[in-house]
Structure 1
Amino acid sequence: MLKFTFLGTSSGVPSLTRNVSGLAIQSGKSKDWILIDAGEGTQHRIQHAKLSLQHLKAICITHVHGDHCYGLLGLLASAGMNGRKSPIILIAPKQIQQWFDATCQLTELFLPYPIEFIDVNLIDQPYVLNEQMSIEPIALSHRVASYAYGITAIQTQRKLNIEKLNQLEIPKGKLWGDLQQGQDIEWNAQTIFNQDIIIQTTQHVYAIVGGDNDQPRLLADKCKDADVLIHETTYTQAVLDKVGPGPMHSSAKMVAEFAQDIQLPNLIATHLSPRYHDQAGVQAIQDEIAQYYQGLFFIANDFDQYELNAQGELSQLHSGKPWEK
């Protein structure tokens, strides 16, 4: 139901193997997608991931720090130069709109499509993007106002009631097809109403994508219903103890202990400090999470792809590990 493509998994600055924050999310088989954060270089990552800016429906910015938003304006400009005409919804702190307006004025940026800006501070209920997806901001704790985004995906399936069709002796073929398409049919001099033959089921999944945050437990209430949490693990606990509380980030241990306490079924760790970008560093983050969390987890790499199915089961579709290439 939801597919996650990691475009950037580094904190602060990019490295040779990891770009700064960016995450593409698609629902079902649709080509449409949303973007969570747009660090510098995100538009280049989008090209490598073979995602189309024409199908980008919404961008959500977690906070104003540059490694989460410096790629936004170049991305929007490129979409315009590629002929985009349809609006893009931009959910972000109000400072992002001020920065956008100033950039348009000072650099003569004229977009041939509208930006529908929504101040994240003013959203008090889930924003319904379309019939398949809604977006809900959740306040976090960081040096500036920071948010997670709860993504709800809804999938409705319509199936024919085969048993009832056989009871009515309606033959397979065009009549079955018409019913499947939502039409009423005539059979044996009576009207067969579509609503009496179709079995409709609705399934939903809920994913939380966190911005920078030094208090994972702020997500406790929302995580009760979450099928997966994507959260920063910037440091191991030993390094965080040396760095101190100033940067206001989470360690792998903090996130793992939180996930274990609330019995979270799936966890994806991201936003790694550049000191962990080699194989040994990733292993250190992985070992620390495994020590405190017994659920299913992954350490995200750039270009990793994961799928969350309708049953809330998380699987990896593609690995972007540079040492596996």
Structure 2
Amino acid sequence: MDVQFLGTSSGTPSRSRNVAGLALRASGSKHWYLVDCGEGTQHRLLRTSLSVIGLRAIFITHIHGDHCYGLPGLLASAGLMNRSEPLLIAGPPAVERFVRAVIDTTELRLPYPLDFATVEPGWTNDTLPDLRIDAAPLSHRVPSYAYGFTEKAVERRLDIGRLERDGISSGPGWGQLQRGQDIELPDCRVARSADYLLPGRQPRRIVVAGDNDTPMLLAEQVRDTHVLVHEATYTEEVLQKVGPGPQHSSAQAVAAFAETAGVPNLVLTHFSPRYQQGEGKLSMNALEDEARAAYHGALFLASDLQRYALDRHGVLAALADA
């Protein structure tokens, strides 16, 4: 599985960061998924290998503009590129109202169908070919959700020792067994695939959270999760000055939660534009230092267009070709 950040700023874009957007793709898949679609997302896509033709579904965490104002333009561009496949848009109820209002007022005619899914506590989706999706409610000024993405298919290795003990010689039949197919042997025995496959590894799982001031709300959803992507809009010091009104998290709070929950990989994003590169209280270094003091797993501070790959062992790594 891999993710690519299309925007990592909160509220407004900066010279180096666009507002929220994240692309996610299962291993070996030709299509991809989008989580949030802030203004300018389609411009960021032009700097990637991703195409709106291969986009299978969009998941909006909440209705605030920096997470959804890019939707109308992206949908219209997909139509102009002659997209024909249906597109799923999942999000809180306000998302469908917003999109339909833009379609009606601008007389937008799309050559492909939109399938809307209303996300609420306990919502799941098992219709996509490669991933199971679940949603958990968060704490923000409007309904906000975190989406969990779990791969469906896990490759399984053959039990070579048992095959040899049972006198099943290597050949095309081994490949059929590994693909889940039973085979008939020369002596008329039937070898069942399930008898010769070793237990599979744990399915890879990534949780991408929307805006949220209470990371502990994710305690159940991040169980058996390999990667948590969560906002860290402020340092704790700035958060205390800003106050609870915006309902965002600090790097310290998210990192402390991830440490307690045992999440092995944490990616912070959605940074206030006040934080710049360099040293000082209003620097990206300050955010990173605060998080590292509370969290001892693999920590990443996302940047626009950076890609990360999650391997079969649950190890997340930044890709050099971002």
- TM-score scaled by length of structure 1: 0.90
Alpha-carbon spacing, 1:131–1:98, altered in 2? closer, same or farther (3 Å): closer
Residue of structure 2 in register with 1:300 after alignment: 302
How large is the Cα RMSD of the aligned pairs? Answer: 2.1
**How far off its partner does 1:265 sit?**
1.9
Secondary structure at the counterpart of residue 204 of structure 1: coil
Alpha-carbon spacing, 1:189–1:219, altered in 2? closer, same or farther (3 Å): closer
**How far off its partner does 1:309 sit?**
2.4
Any stretches of 5+ residues in structure 1 without a counterpart? 321-325
Aligned pairs (5 A) from 1:64-79:
64-79=63-78
Q: Contact 1:141–1:212 at 8 Å: present in 2 too?
A: yes
Residue of structure 2 in register with 1:252 after alignment: 251
Residue identity matched to 1:51: L
CA distance in 1, matches of 2:312, 2:75: 32
Residue of structure 2 in register with 1:236 after alignment: 235
Alignment deviations for residues 113-139 of structure 1 (CA, whole Å, 9 cap, x no partner):
111101112x63421143531111111
Residue identity matched to 2:288: Q
Percent identity for Structure 1 against Structure 2: 46
Residue identity matched to 1:250: S
Residue of structure 1 in register with 2:31 after alignment: 32
Residue of structure 1 in register with 2:317 after alignment: 315
Residue of structure 2 in register with 1:199 after alignment: 197
Alpha-carbon spacing, 1:235–1:162, altered in 2? closer, same or farther (3 Å): same
CA distance in 1, matches of 2:22, 2:99: 21
Which piece of structure 1 moves more, 185-194 or 274-283? 185-194
Residue of structure 1 in register with 2:57 after alignment: 58
**How far off its partner does 1:205 sit?**
2.3
Secondary structure at the counterpart of residue 197 of structure 2: strand
Alignment deviations for residues 134-158 of structure 1 (CA, whole Å, 9 cap, x no partner):
1111111111111111111233224
**How far off its partner does 1:167 sit?**
4.3
CA distance in 2, matches of 1:32, 1:222: 25
Residue identity matched to 2:226: D
Q: Contact 1:165–1:197 at 8 Å: present in 2 too?
A: no
Any stretches of 5+ residues in structure 2 without a counterpart? none
Secondary structure at the counterpart of residue 74 of structure 1: helix
Residue identity matched to 1:307: A
